Amino acid sequence: MSTVLTHMTMSLDGFIADPTDGIDELFGWYGAGEVTLPTKVDQFEFNVDEASAELLRGYLDSSGALVCGRRLFDITNGWDDQHPMGAPVVVVTHHAPDDADTWPRTTFVDDVATGIAKAKEIAGDKNVVIASANIAAQALDLGLVDEVHVSLVPVLMGEGIPYFANLGSAPHRFGDPVVIPGKRATHLQYTVRRD
């Protein structure tokens, strides 16, 4: 059965990007190690420590669909329809692009619940990964997230785009973390409590 999880790299003060969507301060751990890890797309690879490589291999092998919002889709140009995880992408947006039919590995839907349902259908027995902060927050509020993963980097941003903000049904509670120490990132994995 598919697990719905959200994974993001986050600063110690809770931000996943600077105010202009910059990620340079956060994503240094993807190039901070001695293990070269190819992705599912030739032009992307990671150079991480062994613990982080094992974590990333798990994501690459177990992910069946990725869910994001229109903003991330636009920033990345839809990863040219080839996300590094190799999984199809579901974009939650009220305004699909005019050329939506030219993206064969990308599906556009207009709400979070539909996006998660479509991603689960696409993923089959593999996992669904949410990659946008706003979509993750909405899905958490809707009770659609099974696990929250954070790659915590040792930097304070001061301001930026928060991982979780404006939660409508907080507090959300999690089980004890699985902690994976890495080089320039500590990886935390939490199961969402349903009680």
CA gap 134, 167 in Å, rounded: 9
pLDDT value at position 40? 79
In order, the DSSP letters of 97-150 are -TTGGG-TTEEEESSHHHHHHHHHHHHTTSEEEE--HHHHHHHHHTT--SEEEE
CA gap 134, 137 in Å, rounded: 5
Q: Are 141 and 167 spatial neighbours (Cβ–Cβ below 8 Å)?
A: yes
pLDDT value at position 77? 85
pLDDT value at position 82? 84
What six digits make up the tokens of 15?
């931000």
Domains and CATH numbers, the chain: 4-191 (3.40.430.10)
Q: Are 52 and 116 spatial neighbours (Cβ–Cβ below 8 Å)?
A: no
pTM: 0.92
Q: Are 6 and 129 spatial neighbours (Cβ–Cβ below 8 Å)?
A: yes
Low-confidence ranges of the chain (pLDDT < 70): none
Q: Are 31 and 46 spatial neighbours (Cβ–Cβ below 8 Å)?
A: yes
What six digits make up the tokens of 67?
């869910």
Q: Is 13 helix (H, G, I), strand (E, B) or coil?
A: coil
CA atoms within 13 A on the CB side of 113: 3
| Residue 66 exposed, middle or buried by CB count within 10 Å (0-12, 13-18, 19+) | buried
H, E, C per residue of 74-96:
HHCHHHHHCCCCCCCEEEECCCC
What are 138-190's pLDDT values in tens digits? 999 999 999 999 999 999 999 999 999 888 888 999 999 999 999 999 999 99
Q: Are 149 and 179 spatial neighbours (Cβ–Cβ below 8 Å)?
A: no
